[in-house]
C-alpha cells in the first residue's frame, strides 16, 4: 500500500491536507517494489527495445472510500491511530482521508466542507487518479462527528454513494446538541436546524416518504460509547422507515481502537469488486 499526503488548494476551504491509501498492486504492476540487485546491462539500441505502451487498460478504475475523522482531528488520524492500511491493500480500495475542520457547514470563516467533501475533492480524485466516479464504486464513512457528516453528505446526495457508514456517531444530532452542546459557540442554534437537512432523521423521513433510492446505510457503535442512546434511537427510526440499514454493535467506547475494528467491519460489508490484475 502506498501512502500519499496530498496538499490541495480547495476553492471552498483553502489550502488543506489529505491522506490517501493507494493500493500497491496498481493494475497488476508492482510499483515501488523492492530494489533488486542485478548486473547492469547496457540496452541495445534498436527499435525492438522500444518502450511498449502500458499493458493495462486505462479504463480500469478503483473503488473509493471517503473516510472522515472525528472532531478535533486531521488527515493524520487514520494513518497514525489505526491499522487500516493493510485492510485497504487487501481490498484494493483507494481510501481518501481529508482534514475536516468543520461539520456544521455554516461557518463562513471555515468555508463549505460540504461542497468540498461531496463535490470538489471527489472530482479532483477522479480526474487525477484512476478512481471510478460511478455510484456503485463510491462509499463514505466516518467516526464520531465524521460519521454524522458522512450521513449528512450521503443522504443529501444519495445518487453519489452506494454505501454510507458511521461509527460512534451522533446520528441523532438534535439529541446530541441538546444534551452536550446546547448554546455552545460554534455549534448551530438547535431551533434553526430541527427538520432541516442537518436533522438526519428528518431528512431520512423525507426520503422514505418520497421513495428515494437511498444508499445502503451502515451504523456501528460500542456498548460503552457515550453516543449509544443516540445511536439506538437513530437505528430504530431508520428501521421503522424501512430504509436498507445494517446495525452492528460491539464492546468498546468512543475510541480509535473501536473505530479501527468498526471500519474493518464496514469494509467487510461493502460490495467490493476484485480488481483485475494483469
Partner 1 sequence: MSRLQVITGGGGNTLDIIIPDKLNKYKENTKGLWLLHDKFGTSVDWPGFSQIEFFAEDHNFIIVCLSCGDASYTDWKDGFEWETYLTEEIWKYVHGLIPMLSERPEDNYLCGCARGGFGAIKFALAHWDKFGFAAAFSPDNSTIKRYLKGEEVQFGDRMYGSIDQAVKSNDNLEYAAECLAKSNEKLPEIYIACGFNNSAYECSVEMREMLFCKNYAVIWKESDSDGGWIFYNEQIKKLLDYIEGCD
Judged by the rule CB under 8 A, the positions of this chain that interact with partner 1 are: 1-9, 22, 24, 26-27, 29-40, 42-43, 45-47, 49-51, 53-54, 56, 58, 123-124, 127-130
**Cell numbers linked to 110:** 471555515
191 burial type by CB count under 10 A (0-12 exposed, 13-18 middle, 19+ buried): exposed
> Which CB sits closer to partner 1, 55 or 211?
55
Which is closer to partner 1, CB of 47 or CB of 251? Answer: 47
Between 100 and 164, whose beta carbon lies closer to partner 1? 100
Q: Least distance to partner 1 from the beta carbon of 270, Å?
A: 22
Please give the Cα distance from 255 to 124 (Å, whole number): 31
| Nearest distance, CB of residue 27 and partner 1, angstroms | 5
| Cβ distance to partner 1 smaller for residue 8 or 247 | 8
Rounded to a whole number of angstroms, the minimum distance from the CB of residue 154 to partner 1 is 24
- How far apart (Å, rounded) are the C-alpha atoms in residues 170 and 184? 16
CB count in 10 Å sphere of residue 135:
16
Of 53 and 242, nearer to partner 1 (C-beta) is 53
Host H or E run for residue 218: strand 216-222
User: Cα separation of 138 and 164, whole Å?
Assistant: 9
Q: Among 116, 164, 113, 154, which residue's Cα sits nearest to residue 269?
A: 164
Q: What is the closest distance, in whole angstroms, from the C-beta atom of residue 15 to partner 1 in the complex? A: 9
d(CA 3, CA 8): 16
Task: Report the helix count and the strand count for the chain, using DSSP H and E.
Answer: 10, 8
Apex CA 178: angle with CA 196 and CA 111, to 5°? Answer: 55
Residue 44 or 251 having the CB closest to partner 1: 44
Helix (H) or strand (E) holding 37: none
* Min separation Cβ 123 and partner 1, Å: 8
Q: How far is the CB of 229 from partner 1 (least distance, A)?
A: 41
Task: Compute the distance between CA of residue 7 and CA of residue 16 in angstroms, rounded to an integer.
Answer: 6
Give least dist CB 199 to partner 1, A: 34
Query: Which residue, 25 or 197, has its beta carbon nearer to partner 1?
Result: 25
- Min. distance of Cβ 182 from partner 1 in angstroms? 39
State which residue, 83 or 239, has the beta carbon closest to partner 1.
83
Amino acid at each position: 500500500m502506498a501512502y500519499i499526503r496530498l496538499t490541495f488548494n480547495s476553492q471552498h476551504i483553502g489550502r488543506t491536507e489529505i491522506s490517501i491509501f493507494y493500493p500497491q498492486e496498481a493494475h497488476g504492476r508492482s510499483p515501488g517494489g523492492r530494489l533488486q540487485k542485478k548486473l547492469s546491462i547496457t540496452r541495445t539500441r534498436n527499435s525492438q527495445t522500444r518502450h511498449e505502451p502500458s499493458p493495462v487498460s486505462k479504463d480500469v478504475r478503483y473503488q473509493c472510500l471517503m473516510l472522515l475523522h472525528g472532531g478535533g482531528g486531521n488527515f493524520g488520524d487514520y494513518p497514525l491511530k489505526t491499522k487500516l492500511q493493510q485492510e485497504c491493500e487487501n481490498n484494493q480500495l483507494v481510501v481518501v482521508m481529508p482534514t475536516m475542520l468543520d461539520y456544521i457547514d455554516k461557518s463562513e470563516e471555515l468555508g463549505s466542507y460540504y461542497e468540498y467533501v461531496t463535490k470538489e475533492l471527489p472530482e479532483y480524485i477522479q480526474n487525477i487518479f484512476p478512481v471510478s466516479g460511478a455510484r456503485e464504486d463510491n462509499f463514505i464513512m466516518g467516526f464520531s462527528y465524521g460519521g454524522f457528516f458522512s450521513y449528512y453528505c450521503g443522504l443529501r446526495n444519495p445518487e453519489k454513494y452506494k454505501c454510507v457508514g458511521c461509527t460512534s456517531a451522533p446520528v441523532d444530532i438534535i439529541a446530541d446538541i441538546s444534551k452536550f452542546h446546547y448554546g455552545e459557540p460554534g455549534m448551530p442554534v438547535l431551533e434553526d436546524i430541527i427538520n432541516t437537512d442537518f436533522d438526519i432523521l428528518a431528512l431520512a423521513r423525507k426520503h422514505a416518504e418520497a421513495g428515494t433510492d437511498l444508499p445502503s446505510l451502515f451504523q456501528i457503535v460500542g456498548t460503552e460509547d457515550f453516543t449509544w442512546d443516540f445511536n439506538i434511537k437513530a437505528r430504530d427510526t431508520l428501521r421503522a422507515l424501512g430504509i436498507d440499514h445494517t446495525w452492528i454493535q460491539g464492546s468498546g467506547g468512543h475510541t480509535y481502537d473501536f473505530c479501527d475494528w468498526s471500519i474493518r467491519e464496514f469494509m467487510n460489508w461493502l460490495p467490493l469488486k476484485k480488481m483485475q490484475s494483469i
